[in-house]
Each structure stands twice: as C-alpha cells, then as structure tokens.
Chain A
Amino acid sequence: MISVNELAARLALKPFNLDDGDREVTGGYAGDLLSWVMGRATSGDAWVTIMSNINVIAVAQLTDVACVILAEGVEPGDDLVSAAKTRGVNLFSSEEAAFDLCGKIYALIAPNGGAEAAEAAEEAAAYADSDR
C-alpha cells in the first residue's frame, strides 16, 4: 500500500499543505461536482479535481479522503490553502491532466500490482487486432 508522501513523490505533486503524509491511499476518485463526490468518494481516496473553491476542503474533510490533488495546473488560492491548514487536509497540485493523473494513481494503487489493468489492456489490444 502506498502513502500520501510516496504518492506525492512518485507523481511529483506540488504540496500546499501536508498534514498526514503517512496516511495510506486506498483508492481514488475524480470529479468536480461536489455532491457527486460526497455521494461516491470513499475514505482514503486520492481525490483529483479542478474545483478549487473553499468548499472543497469541507468536502474533503467530510468524505475523509487521504488527499486532494488539483489537476491541470489549477493552483489553490490563499483561502483554500489556509482552510486546508486549519482543517488538516492534505492538498497538492499538478500540471498534469486529470485523466493522466488518474491513470498513474491507478497504476500505483491497483490491486494485484495492476494485474487487472494489464489484463484489460491486453483484451483491448486483442479486440483492436481482431476483425470485429
């Protein structure tokens, strides 16, 4: 299992607040609609979003995600950073697109060392090669 610190290092994330770097990342969630996130994200997820208003911190805290990663070069404003510090939410940003970021996170935390993902990729390749 991978920690927030390790995830941040492997993805070269830019830290804005790091409260609990030893926290385990057990899954991931991508989304910008906050109620959607609250309905689906689970505790321990790395949450990838481009939403950077202050309510993001409350949502992160209530869903108990392991960290928030602002994708696509979105940088947090001072109010967001200060809310993250006050409330102890791990907050990062990345230049990478959300899709690419999620692919990398998945590869890092996937069950069976990504065997399932590799199998799916093989199946997709076989389908592309077939006559259909």
Chain B
Amino acid sequence: MAQSETLNFHFDVDGNDFTSAGEASVKVKKLMRQLGFSPELTRRVSIAMYEGEINMVIHANGGTADVYVDEDRLRVVLADEGPGIADVETAMQEGYSTAPDNIRALGFGAGMGLPNMKNYSDEMKIDSVVGKGTTIELIFKVS
C-alpha cells in the first residue's frame, strides 16, 4: 500500500443521558470487528473509550469522541468543556474519585476509570485546564 488513508469516526457524547453512554464505544467495537482488528485490541479500545464516555457524562456534561484508525495505530481523542482536572496525578490513582453518590449507586465512581484507560492503552496523554475542559488522547498500537 503506497498511501494509506486515516479513517475518522466522530461521536457526540450526550451529557444528559447516562443510560445511552456507551453507544459510541459499542459502535467502535462493531466497526473494529468489521475492519478485522483482533478481539483483544478491540476489547481494549472499546473499554478505554467507554470509561472516557462515562467520565464525560459524569463530570463534564458530555463531549466528543473521535477515533482515528491508521494502519499501525488507533488514536482515540476524548474532548470535553467540563470543569477540568485540578490534580491529574491524584486523579490517576486507583480508587480516587470525585463522582457523586447517585453515580456511585449505579456502580460507577470506583476510581478505576482513568487507571483502566491507562492500562488498556499503549499511551495516554491528558491535557486539562481547570474551568476550560479536558482532552484525553489514547494511542493503541496495532501489532
């Protein structure tokens, strides 16, 4: 292949609808299956993306998710205009969460979202400004 084109899939994550959170991730899972990616990589990408979706619904009133598919890597960019993360290092710790009680009652807010995203991706970059929003970039290598 002389030239390969980057495929881009864009999703809007609705901040008001907690029950539909995950729709984008499930779509990405199906797309990746159709594109022939391994079940393991598909699982990692879709779970990491779901955690991102959930975070944007819980903390930021929604946002956008973009998936860029190249030959040798997948890139997931999650962007929101929420409150931002004041202390990224603390937020990355397993078990640390600022989710409210009603969210915890649903089984979320265990403080495992960001750690899962880090564990399941090959590279994770967090760009967050308090009062402006957060952008998280996840990179997955295609072996």
Residues of B within 8 A of A51 (CB): 106-107
Which one, A34, A54, A58, A79, contacts B25 given CB within 8 A? A58
Binding site for B on A (CB under 8 A): 32-36, 38-39, 43, 51, 53-56, 58-59, 61-64, 79, 87
Chain B, residues 7-45, CB within 8 Å of chain A (1/0): the string is 000000000001101100110010000000001000100
**Which 5 pairs show the lowest CB-CB distances between chains A and B?**
A58-B22, A35-B112, A33-B110, A34-B107, A51-B107
Contacts of B29 in A (CB 8 A): 61-62
| Secondary structure call for the A interface | helix
Q: How large is the interface on B (under 10, 10 to 19, 20 to 34, 35 or more residues)?
A: 20 to 34
Given contacts A34-B108, A34-B110, 11 further A-B contacts (CB under 8 A): A34-B106, A35-B51, A38-B47, A38-B51, A38-B116, A43-B39, A53-B107, A55-B106, A58-B26, A62-B22, A63-B43
Cβ B39 vs Cβ A64 within 8 A: yes
CA distance A8 to B110 in the complex (A): 30
The CA of A59 and the CA of B19, in the complex, are separated in Å by 12
Contact A62 B108 (CB under 8 A): no
What B residues does A35 contact at CB under 8 A?
51, 54, 108, 110-113, 116
> Would you call B119 an interface residue if the criterion is a C-beta within 8 Å of the partner chain's C-beta atoms?
yes
User: Could you tell me the distance in whole angstroms from the C-beta of B14 to the nearest C-beta in chain A?
Assistant: 14
B62 to nearest A CB, angstroms? 16
Question: Which residues of B sit under 8 angstroms from A32, Cβ to Cβ?
Answer: 107
CB within 8 Å for A58 and B116 given contacts A34-B110, A36-B110, A51-B107: no
Per-residue interface assignment for chain B, residues 53 to 91, with 1 indicating a CB less than 8 Å from any chain A CB and 0 otherwise: 010000000000000000000000000000000000000
Is B128 located at the chain interface by the 8 A CB criterion?
Answer: no
Q: Which of B90-125 contact A (CB under 8 A)?
A: 106-108, 110-113, 115-116, 119
Interface presence of B50 (CB below 8 A): yes
A35 CA / B112 CA spacing, docked (Å): 6
User: Which chain B residue lies CB-closest to A34?
Assistant: B107
Q: Is B46 an interface residue, CB under 8 A from the partner?
A: yes
Q: Contact check: which of B18, B25, B112, B113 meets A62 at CB < 8 Å?
A: B25
* Alpha-carbon separation in the docked complex, A61 to B33 (Å): 13
Q: Is the CB of B26 within 8 A of A61?
A: yes
A50 — nearest CB in chain B belongs to which residue? B107
Residue of B nearest to A56 (CB): B107
Q: Is A38 in contact with B50, judged by CB distance below 8 angstroms?
A: yes
A-B contact pairs, 24 of them (CB 8 A): A32-B107, A33-B108, A33-B112, A34-B106, A34-B108, A35-B54, A35-B111, A35-B112, A35-B116, A38-B47, A38-B51, A39-B115, A51-B106, A51-B107, A55-B18, A55-B21, A55-B106, A55-B107, A58-B21, A58-B22, A58-B26, A62-B26, A62-B29, A62-B50
